[in-house]
Structure 1
Amino acid sequence: MKAFVSLLMLGLGGVLIGGTTLRLKMYGEAHNDQRKHLGIPLVEADWQAHYSRSNGTIEFFGDNVYGLGHVRKRIQINYLNGIEKESDLYVFKGVTMDLDYTYGQKKPWDISYYRGAECIQLTYQQAMDSLATLSRKL
């Protein structure tokens, strides 16, 4: 029984199962339909993933040579409740945007727009408009 409980505990923490981490499957592309519904940026199909059990995060990142556009997604996980927060990083020439979505909040978005040393807080709509404009310039 003790061995079973230990195995169960390890499984909940994201142990390798069948050559891949269960959590990477659960919160990667498989969760994109929920992200679309909430307006959260998606995990791209060709992105690599790294799971850090010590701090409960999954990092997804692309193989973008120029490092422009949507370059990273970090997902903060609570082992009992699932995803707590998603953070997306966008990088463009002279501009960086951080979009944070915290699940279960009345105002879930915290969006920062950086241009040089200047930091501006944006609304969700302002961020989407800015991303559309900046993406067209790539």
Structure 2
Amino acid sequence: MLALIQRVNFAKVVVEGTVTGEIQKGILAFIGFEKGDDEAKAKKMFDKLLKYRIFYDENEKMNLNLVQVDGAILLVSQFTLAANTAQGNRPSFDPAMPPTKAKDLYDKFIKYAHNTYQKVQEGQFGADMKVSLENDGPVTFMLKM
């Protein structure tokens, strides 16, 4: 399981002209599922997203997590994260979880997220999403479970 996370001042997702998720200060997390990922990994990843210390404390050190700064999280499915880009000029999506299984796992991931933390927004699985954001820093990390 992969998560490309960005510390943001704001972010939103629009699908066919409708805002499906929007946050102010927090984390924009692009989520990719690979073959072999499961619900336990998904829960572990979300827990890590909440605890990952990427926000500044009073000494301008990255010591605070999302919960400590009362931030929000915007979750966006992105199967392209699982691409194999090691060879050639075209990505291979062999490592990616098949769409049907990924949708099921994404739904469980989203449900767990909403049950775990109050400030959760999301995109729409499989949709053509328009994502806009202001990266704070910029601060971007790739997490892998």
> Please, what TM-score do these two structures have when normalized by structure 1?
0.23
Higher alpha-carbon Rg: 1
Higher helix share: 1
Greater RCO, 1 or 2 (C-alpha within 8 Å, sep 6+): 2
